[in-house]
Amino acid sequence: FDSFRRDCLADVDTKPAYQNLRQKVDNFVSTHLDKQEWNPTMNKNQLRNGLRQSVVQSGMLEAGVDRIISQVVDPKLNHIFRPQIERAIHEFLAAQKKAAVPAPPPEPDGQDPPAPSQDTS
């Protein structure tokens, strides 16, 4: 799954949906910060949390991420991800099946013939 993540992350910033979402968020943040009156006693964490909540409540992230997924993940799903996942599942199940097959019972030891008696009578 790490390779899936790397493939998608390498590709994401080239897609229009990502660039569009980034531009929307940048504009939203700029507008939000323009409305704030700066003073040195402001609680920056409170300002940051308020901004984060505003971005989330706007709904732009949810819609933007859905579009990014449809542009980045969906095209790779059937011809890259699914075959690799199916191969991994088959290998896992084959290994499980081998482990589940009981070993054949040991060969019964034939009884040794009785040792010749050393009777010297």
Q: Which region among 71-75, 93-97, 110-114 has the lowest average model confidence (pLDDT)?
A: 110-114
pTM metric for this prediction = 0.62
- Residues 6 or more apart in contact with residue 18 via CB below 8 angstroms: 12, 68, 71, 72
pLDDT in tens, 25-48: 999 999 999 998 888 888 889 989
Do residues 32 and 51 lie in contact, with contact meaning Cβ atoms separated by under 8 Å? yes
pLDDT in tens, 95-108: 888 777 666 666 66
Question: Can you give the pLDDT at residue 16?
Answer: 94
Phi and psi at residue 107, in whole multiples of 5°?
A: -60, 135
Query: Closest Cα to residue 21, out of 77, 75, 66?
Result: 66
Question: Can you give the pLDDT at residue 111?
Answer: 56
